[in-house]
Amino acid sequence: MLRQTLQQRLSQKLSPQQIQLMKLLQIPTTQLEERIKEELEENPALEIDTIINKEDLFESTKEGQDDEFDQDKAVELEEVDTEKIEIDDYLKNEQDGSGDLGDDYYQSKDAQERSTIPVSVESSYQEVLMNQLTMLNLNAHQQSVAEQIIGSIDDDGYLRRSVEAIVDDLAFSRNIISNEAEVKELLQEIKQFEPIGTGAADLRECLILQLEHVKDASNETLLALKILQVYFDDFIKKHYDKIKKALAISDKELKSVIDIIIKLNPKPGAAYYIVNKVHHHITPDFFIDNSEQRMELRLNSKNAPPLRISEGFTELLQAYNQNEKADKKQREAVQFIKQKLDAAKWFIDAIRQRQQTLIKCMQAIIVFQNDFFKTGDESKLKPMILKDIAEITQLDMSTISRVANSKYVQTEFGTFQLKYFFSEAITNNEGEEVTNKEVRNVLAEIIENEDKSNPYNDDVLTELIAQKGFKIARRTVGKYREHMNIPPARLRKQL
pLDDT tens for the chain, 495 residues: list them: 677 888 777 766 666 667 777 888 888 887 888 888 888 888 888 888 776 544 443 433 444 344 444 434 433 333 333 333 344 444 444 434 443 433 333 334 444 343 334 444 456 888 899 999 999 989 999 999 999 999 999 989 999 999 999 999 999 988 999 999 999 999 999 999 999 999 999 999 999 999 999 888 889 999 999 999 999 998 888 888 899 999 999 988 998 998 899 889 999 988 776 544 444 577 888 999 887 667 888 888 776 778 888 877 777 777 766 666 667 777 787 788 888 888 888 888 888 888 889 999 999 999 999 888 888 888 788 888 889 999 999 988 888 888 888 889 999 888 998 888 888 777 777 666 677 888 888 898 899 888 888 888 889 998 998 888 888 888 888 888 888 888 888 778 776
Gap between the Cα atoms of 268 and 132, Å rounded: 15
DSSP string, 231-245: SHHHHHTT-HHHHHH
Q: What is the pLDDT of residue 323?
A: 66
Residues facing residue 414 across a β-bridge: 411
Question: So where are the chain's domains?
Answer: 16-111+284-420, 124-198, 201-267, 424-492
Q: Are 211 and 225 in contact (CB under 8 A)?
A: yes
Gap between the Cα atoms of 145 and 187, Å rounded: 10
CATH of 424-492 given 1.10.10.60, 1.10.3720.10, 1.20.1260.10, 3.40.50.720: 1.10.10.60
Q: Are 243 and 229 in contact (CB under 8 A)?
A: no
Tell which residue, 374, 362, 373, 353, has the closest CA to residue 407.
Answer: 362
Q: Are 462 and 473 in contact (CB under 8 A)?
A: yes
Evaluate if pTM is beyond 0.85. no
- Which residues lie closer than 8 Å to 74 by C-beta, 6 or more apart? 360, 393, 394
